[in-house]
Structure 1
Amino acid sequence: MAGFLGADTEALRALGRAVGGGAERLEQLTAQLDGIVGGARWQGPDADAFRADWAGHVRTGLHARIGALRGEAAELAGQAEEQDGASGGPGGPGVPGGAGAAPPPGLAGGLSEGPLPGAEGGIRLMAAHAPLGAADASAAVGESPLAFPETGMELAPPETAHRIEVDADHALAPDGADEPFGLDEDGTPITLEPDTRYDVGEHGTYYTDDEGRIEYVEAEGGGETMNPNLRETLPDATYHVNEQAYYRTDELGRTEHLYVPDVVVDREMARSQAIQSTIAERWDMSGDGTSEPVEFNAGHVLARQLGGIREEINYTRQWDEVNQARSGQDTIYTYESLMADGISDEDRSYSYETRIDWGEEQPAGVGPEHDSEPWEYVPSGYDVRLHEDGEQIVEDHLPNYPEGATFPR
């Protein structure tokens, strides 16, 4: 007997509808859980850690799965259309049963648990009628949402054994609102009590590791009064800013990683023209026997219109060819505008991630031996990842100066 090639298109459509329905149910469950997590009457460090993990890891992963399921549903519908076209329409040659044929066992009335007919190795489908519990949803997410986990970024504060409140009279209290916490007068990180959470009022919340080094900071920024702790940054630390954006610094305190699990549009964020004027610079860079002026703007790591703050942690020296709009060329501006328009005009959701590459090539007088500020360095490039409604739509590398160019010596 000749083997059957092709597919029962009505069964494919039924499967597509079931998968799409699963995406809808998972989205509804995610929204319900989000409301429960946000509205629970639970305070304290454990509550903060749980909510941070939910917002930065679990919820983002669930949205990614929802997008993937919808993509699979669309793929199944497309396959059914192609099969109909190839076989002369529903009920054409090679399609058992044709239009109106009963779906194969397990698809009538929705998906059922158990192996698909003829599927060796026990390929299973989740029952469409079975509710998905929170534990199942968390287990389904599994992997980290970060594209660049090697930076050491954490999406939740560490558990600590101790807690200290630093009020205005405490010995560790900053001398004033303009002075950062955790740094001495020379800008060197101080050693604190290990495994401890420090609550420092408007300066933020700080978590130390088992050696007393600050490794995680929760802080507010971008307001009328700038936060000094986001102006002078600690090395090798994760900053969670405004409960929205995560920044990771490297061993020199330079921002090397940004992750925003749920991008928002906020066109009211303040700007600091003084800081931007200080950071912006121009050099005559050489390459291939020629020299040309290269403009570097004070580029926001996260755009101001997307909630980006005006403190120095959120700036790098960006080549204007990367920072500004350029016809026919993808730039940081291109991706920022895509997100802003998608959120405002189409009610889409985005997660945004950037890895900042710090190369060896630096301007004269810039380097650790010169005690340079983090913003004085020039990145060699930016690796950008962008997800729209849970599906990755951008994977790009943007060089931060012309290929082969060097700074004057």
Structure 2
Amino acid sequence: MPFPLYLLALAIFAMGTSEFMLAGLLPDIASDLDVTVATAATLTPAFAVGMVVGAPLMAALARRRPGRSSLLGFVSVFLGAHAVGAATSSFSVLCATRVVAALANAGFLAVALTTAASLVPPDRKGRALAVLLSGTTVATIAGVPGGSLLGALLGWRATFWAVAALCVPAAIGVLTAVPARRVEQHVADGPSLRAELAQLARPRLLLAMLLGALVNAATFASFTFLAPVVTDTAGLGELWISVVLVLFGAGSFAGVTLAGRLSDRRPGRVIAVGGPLLLVGWAALAVLADRPVALLALVFVQGALSFALGSTLITRVLYEAAGAPTMAGSYATAALNAGAAAGPLIGAATLGTRAGNLGPLWVSGLLVAVALLVAFPARTVIAAGRSSEVLR
């Protein structure tokens, strides 16, 4: 894989740390800013909504700009948003900084996905995506648990400052290693923005986006609320939150790595095997969450299955959006984050029910079940053509 891909992954590591870190910080933020945990949890969908809106918007605005300068600008805005968030005492301001950071993250990821696809042969998009997503999975292994531990020791604001600091080497890496290619000629020779947006009317592209959104919604519905499951349901101490997040991140890294080797050639195998296992895993986790050993094992397994399945579906989005060379990355980003926005909101709605802390886990299982029900009857539609053989 080209070296610039790994530099892009470094920046995505910083952004992934920010996107996922709230899972271990929600109780601290809620207490400090005098809001409920459910209210504090809206920071996650606020970020995700910014990503959904920002991905196509930022990608469209960046079409005629050099990729390197666009990426550098997005990282700089991301850094500034975290500095403001770390300093504020207002929940409303913090929420606004999350939206701004999300817009920057969305723009960066959309351009990075498009850049990554252009750096490798057409049949290796899955491998390139796996390298990029390794930044996110390493964030869940090291960045998010480290942020959770830092938050437990020094407060949640220290974690926000740490993310801002991570953006500095990421920006340097983008500036020094990403090719400074001009895109005007590429845009002039390629399809118009209207033609690229028209790709969204293709049923196979919409189906791949819908399935990716549902699986990611399932992931975020539970991941966002793991902290109370660890401390209340399983009865473990706060420092165990970091251990659980490390295990989830380690599983996600394993899942993305495996999927990266299969998603280009055998995506159907990943979905046909991983989908049912993921469904059973969420139900098992809901039933066995009060048993620490089972909780720790299942969190690793669910991290692996969630990211293997999710990254495979997002790879299919890139294939199906081949007719939108500058916007394909934004479609994948929007699909991922539509799920990330919806999942925590649905999960939060169950916290006040009899299911309590286990509600989000049951929601995750339900969302995966819906994805499988949608995918099964549509398998013949998706399987038409090599680039759309999602279930073959």
TM range, smaller chain: under 0.3
Task: From the two aligned structures, give the one with the greater helix fraction.
Answer: 2
Give the structure-1-normalised TM-score: 0.23
User: Larger C-alpha radius of gyration, 1 or 2?
Assistant: 1
Task: Return the TM-score normalized by structure 2.
Answer: 0.23
Greater relative contact order (Cα 8 A, min sep 6): structure 1 or 2? 2
Bigger strand share: 1
